[in-house]
Amino acid sequence: MNALLIAALLLVLLSVSYQMGWSRSRKLADTTGERLHSRPVYHGAFVAIWAILPALLVLGIWAIFSKSASEAYILSQLPPEVSTGPQGEMVGAIERVKSIANGFGVVGEADPTESAAASAYSQFRTLTTLVVIAVSAGLGVLGLFWAHSRVAHRFRARNSVETAVRIALIACSGIAILTTLGIALSLIADAVQFFSFVNPLDFFFGTVWNPRFQSTGADAVGQYGLLPLLWGTIMVSGIAMLVAIPVGLMSAIYLSQYADYRVRNVVKPIIEVLAGIPTIVYGFFALVTVGPFLTGIGNVFGLDIRATSALTAGIVMGIMIIPFISSLSEDILHQVPRAMRDGSLGLGATKSETIINVLVPAALPGIVGAVLLAVSRAIGETMIVVLAAGNSPVLRLNPAEPVSTVTVTIVNQLTGDADFTSPQSLVAFALGLTLFAMTLVLNVVALYIVRRFREQYE
Amino acid sequence: MDIVQDQTAAATVPGASTPAPAGEPAARVVTRDVSVFYGQKQALFDVSIDIPDRSVTSFIGPSGCGKSTFLRCINRMNDTIDGCRVSGIVELDGEDINRPDLDVVELRARVGMVFQKPNPFPKSIYQNVAYGPRIHGMTRNKAELDEIVVTSLKRAGLFEEVKDRLDQPGTGLSGGQQQRLCIARAIATRPEVLLMDEPCSALDPIATAIIEELIDELRENFTIVIVTHSMQQAARVSQKTAFFHLGKLIETGDTEQIFTNPRHEKTQDYITGRFG
């Protein structure tokens, strides 16, 4: 209710301030007949920005601090022994008071002190909310009048609005960059902590993965060799690419060069549906259908293929990745200038000669980019591998045997009740950092290649 | 030889190419009642024309009049356009090229094409010229291929400029050089007919002059058909001219006659610049 009310107030403030700026500048132009520097919409937008920004700022600050403020207030209303007691009880008591105040009720009889605290908290909450709304509205109105007073003939409202738009855009792209940076930093911090337990050399070059959980042996640190996991990841992704690259590329060539546009309009979205299927569903599919099927085929030829193996996971992952390759490559093949195709056909080359000799070489950098993006997707894929790869972190060359990958191991190390101080769970961050670095490098390479491809035809 | 579109009713029998009168070169390409449809839309209406051997025939007319479309009928490049349909007869040396059993690859080796915009492949200069001979298996060894590449570049008047950098990408040349490279590429397959679709429209006057000179030389060995927007160019390089308007062939004749004494009023209007 409160949020809705605040949003409504902000909207009113926004429209009123916009109208005020707009009509004032309009009036200026009409009464004096002099030309305005900026059109009325810009004056309106300028006033609206200055009215809404201070209001939003106050509300934002309150949103950050309201929780701790109200908890501090509740504590002050409760008997002093609560705040000196253990952390868990204190949080529980605060939650009870909040529930009573919100009218949800609590388990058991409410203590009189709790009821009193709740009603006091209720009042406190109403009061602070009112104060915050008043302050934010007041600042908003102040901003409104300040901006309103600046509206004049030569006032460059357009430039100010453009600046504001630019700042907003920069802020948005900054969020993406900051998030990446934040992820990297948090990974690095925890990974460094892990490396205080385990020698980085043992981690990066160790061939045995055996992180003994504390329950099995109290002081055992375990062995954290990355290589079995890395090999698993490489093998599963490799098999996936062996499936996805030929199939994806061929379907891209078919769609862009052979298919009638009507066929393409139907087939392309269907292929893209593959990318939209949740990976856990692919996991079922691998576990229930593909794995047993491969075992059956293996039996016919006298091969021992396990149902959950690198092969099963790789094949299903390859199918999942097909649309990444086919869709991107199709777009890229389409971008190859028609003149290039006509030139080759006009010399008497057949369609397939044209594709092999002219189109694919011309589109190759873009296709490589598509493949690399697909590889980074394969490396990061978890769910299919959890279900279908057998989860056996042993260094094996045979793809028909179970393996484990980096992502699966991260899941294993972090699920269950692990605390974040033991090497058993901290290793997950070192693994995550390794993955992050791998996919980052692949992405950078992909972007570089894609950019070079673009320059060729511009 | 001149077939004004209205008078061709008698000549629609398949294979009925008019015997060439004495003194005129024999007709290499003969078309009767060629119509082209893009989907439901008809772009070309019953075009009948004889294109003489070892001479330059130019197609002129305002934009969208169907001259490029007609040019592309001669090597069946219209096959590559979705929803495009061609009716009528197109004969090359008395052979119907729209026959279902005709090998279009062989046809395009015999009828080369140079496009409006220079379109060298993103390969080296050498590879660009060697492309056609290679796919048609015209050579048995590297020496023969080298020979074809060098001769073609020489005939296209490009060899002297690029002889030291045959391994450099063809896309790095200037516009005029690129177009001459495309001509070299087209003549490397030793075609009999060379189709040129506005080959100079993307070039400056100097490059254009070089190409026009080249066309004049190539006339000795090839039958050349050139589509052009420039009437001066048509007058300079061609012996025969055909005027198209709104998908119809209005008039064809000796270039000199078309430009000095056109029979048709629309031709007169166009060449005097009253429209188009």
Residue B79 has pLDDT above 80, yes or no: yes
Phi, psi of B62, deg, nearest 5: -65, 165
In a domain, B139, yes or no: no
Could you tell me the residue range of the domain that residue A122 belongs to?
2-155
Chain A residues touching residue B189 (CB < 8 angstroms): 347-348
Strands of the sheet containing B248-254, edge to edge, are B95-96, B84-92, B27-38, B41-52, B248-254, B240-245, B56-60, B223-227, B193-197, B111-114
Residue B36 has pLDDT above 80, yes or no: yes
Instruction: Select from A257, A344, A347, A356 the residue whose CB has the most chain B CBs within 10 Å, as the one to mutate to test that interface.
Output: A347
Q: What is the pLDDT of residue B5?
A: 42
Closest by CA position to B196, among listed B213, B176, B179: B179
Q: Does A342 touch chain B (CB under 8 A)?
A: yes
Can you list the alpha helix ranges (DSSP code H) found in chain B?
Answer: 67-74, 104-110, 125-135, 142-155, 159-162, 175-188, 205-218, 231-237, 255-260, 265-271
In a 3-state reduction of DSSP, which class is residue A445?
helix
In a 3-state reduction of DSSP, which class is residue A41?
helix
Phi, psi of B196, deg, nearest 5: -125, 120
Q: Residues of B at the A interface (Cβ-Cβ below 8 Å)?
A: 75, 77, 80, 82, 105-109, 112-113, 115, 117, 119-123, 131-132, 135-136, 171, 182, 185-186, 189
- Tell me, yes or no, whether A20 and A94 share the same domain: yes
Tell me if B77 and A348 make a contact (CB, 8 A cut-off): no
In a domain, B142, yes or no: no
Residue B128 has pLDDT above 60, yes or no: yes
Chain B CA closest to residue A456: B122
What distance in Å separates residue B104's CA from the closest CA in chain A?
7
Q: What is the pLDDT of residue B46?
A: 93
Residue B1 has pLDDT above 70, yes or no: no
| CA A384-A366-A282 angle, 5° bins | 15
Q: What is the mean pLDDT of residues B140-169?
A: 91
Q: Does A60 touch chain B (CB under 8 A)?
A: no
DSSP character at residue B29: E
In a domain, A245, yes or no: yes
A389-425 burial, b for 16+ CB within 10 Å, e for fewer? Answer: bbbbbbebeebbbbbbbbbbbbebbbeeeeeeebbbb
In a domain, A202, yes or no: no
Instruction: Select from B69, B79, B108, B114 the residue whose CB has the most chain A CBs within 10 Å, as the one to mutate to test that interface.
Output: B108
Chain B CA closest to residue A343: B119
* N-to-C CA span, chain A: 55
Which residues numbered 250-279 in A keep a CB inside 8 Å of some CB on B? 260-261
Q: Does A352 touch chain B (CB under 8 A)?
A: no
In a domain, B246, yes or no: yes
Q: How many CB pairs under 8 A join A and B?
A: 69
In a domain, B136, yes or no: no
Domain count, chain B: 1
Chain A CA closest to residue B106: A348
Closest by CA position to B107, among listed A261, A269, A349, A407: A349
In a domain, A173, yes or no: no
In a domain, B15, yes or no: no
- Could you tell me if A222 and A211 are in contact, meaning their C-beta atoms sit under 8 angstroms apart? yes
What distance in Å separates residue A339's CA from the closest CA in chain B?
6
What distance in Å separates residue B259's CA from the closest CA in chain A?
31
CA dist B223 and B53 (Å) reads: 5
Confidence at B71, pLDDT banded by 50, 70, 90: very high
Chain B CA closest to residue A361: B122
Structural tokens at position B3: 């077939």
In a domain, A166, yes or no: no
Residues B171-198: tens digit of each pLDDT: 889 888 999 999 999 999 989 999 999 8
Bridge partner residues of B49 (DSSP): B31
Tell me if B185 and A260 make a contact (CB, 8 A cut-off): no
Which of A341, A349, A362 is opposite residue B122, by nearest beta carbon? A362
Q: In which element (H, E) is residue B33 found?
A: strand B27-38
Please identify, among A138, A155, A172, the residue that sits at the C-terminal boundary of a domain.
A155
Please identify, among A126, A155, A184, the residue that sits at the C-terminal boundary of a domain.
A155
Chain B CA closest to residue A350: B105
- Tell me, yes or no, whether A148 and A295 share the same domain: no
- Tell me, yes or no, whether A137 and A226 share the same domain: no
Per-residue pLDDT of chain A (458 residues; tens, 9 = 90+): 478 888 888 899 899 999 999 898 888 888 877 788 888 889 899 999 999 999 999 988 988 888 888 888 888 888 777 777 777 777 888 888 888 888 777 777 777 888 888 888 888 888 888 898 889 889 999 999 999 888 888 888 889 999 999 999 999 999 999 998 998 898 898 888 888 888 888 888 888 888 766 555 445 567 888 889 999 999 999 999 999 999 999 999 999 888 888 888 899 889 888 888 998 999 999 999 999 999 999 999 888 888 888 999 999 999 999 999 999 899 889 888 888 889 999 998 888 999 988 888 888 888 888 898 889 889 988 889 888 888 888 888 888 888 889 998 888 888 876 677 778 888 888 899 998 888 888 888 877 877 776 555 43
Chain B residues touching residue A347 (CB < 8 angstroms): 108-109, 112-113, 131-132, 135, 185-186, 189
Q: Does A345 touch chain B (CB under 8 A)?
A: yes
Residue B67 has pLDDT above 80, yes or no: yes
Please identify, among A130, A155, A180, the residue that sits at the C-terminal boundary of a domain.
A155
- Tell me, yes or no, whether A112 and A223 share the same domain: no
What distance in Å separates residue A267's CA from the closest CA in chain B?
17
Which of A260, A342, A347 is opposite residue B131, by nearest beta carbon? A347
Which of A337, A345, A357 is opposite residue B77, by nearest beta carbon? A345
Q: What is the mean pLDDT of residues B160-168?
A: 91
Structural tokens at position A113: 């002190």
In a 3-state reduction of DSSP, which class is residue A152?
coil
- Tell me, yes or no, whether A101 and A236 share the same domain: no
In a domain, A67, yes or no: yes
Closest by CA position to A370, among listed A398, A407, A394, A335: A335
Which of B106, B108, B117 is opposite residue A347, by nearest beta carbon? B108
- Tell me, yes or no, whether A151 and A243 share the same domain: no
CA dist A370 and A47 (Å) reads: 46
What distance in Å separates residue A457's CA from the closest CA in chain B?
10
Residue B18 has pLDDT above 70, yes or no: no
Tell me if A340 and B136 make a contact (CB, 8 A cut-off): no
Chain B residues touching residue A340 (CB < 8 angstroms): 119, 121-122
Domain count, chain A: 2
- Tell me, yes or no, whether A317 and A231 share the same domain: yes
Q: Does A455 touch chain B (CB under 8 A)?
A: no
Could you tell me the residue range of the domain that residue B99 belongs to?
5-9+25-120+192-271
In a domain, B224, yes or no: yes
What distance in Å separates residue A321's CA from the closest CA in chain B?
30
- Could you tell me if A277 and A353 are in contact, meaning their C-beta atoms sit under 8 angstroms apart? no
Tell me if A340 and B119 make a contact (CB, 8 A cut-off): yes
CA dist B263 and B276 (Å) reads: 18
Confidence at B9, pLDDT banded by 50, 70, 90: very low
In a domain, A164, yes or no: no
Tell me if A347 and B132 make a contact (CB, 8 A cut-off): yes
Domain CATH number, residue B249 = 3.40.50.300
Chain B residues touching residue A362 (CB < 8 angstroms): 121-122
Non-local (6+) Cβ contacts of A24 within 8 A are: A43, A148, A151
Which residue's structure tokens are 């195709």? A341
- Tell me, yes or no, whether A355 and A225 share the same domain: yes
Chain B residues touching residue A344 (CB < 8 angstroms): 121, 131
Rg (CA), chain A: 31
Chain B CA closest to residue A362: B122
Percent share of chain B, pLDDT over 70: 90
Whole-Å CA distances, B134 to A90, B109, B160: 84, 12, 23
Q: Does A24 touch chain B (CB under 8 A)?
A: no
Q: Write down the mean pLDDT value for chain B.
A: 86
In a domain, A437, yes or no: yes
Tell me if A348 and B132 make a contact (CB, 8 A cut-off): yes
Q: What is the pLDDT of residue B25?
A: 63
Instruction: Select from B121, B193, B198 the residue whose CB has the most chain A CBs within 10 Å, as the one to mutate to test that interface.
Output: B121
In a domain, B55, yes or no: yes
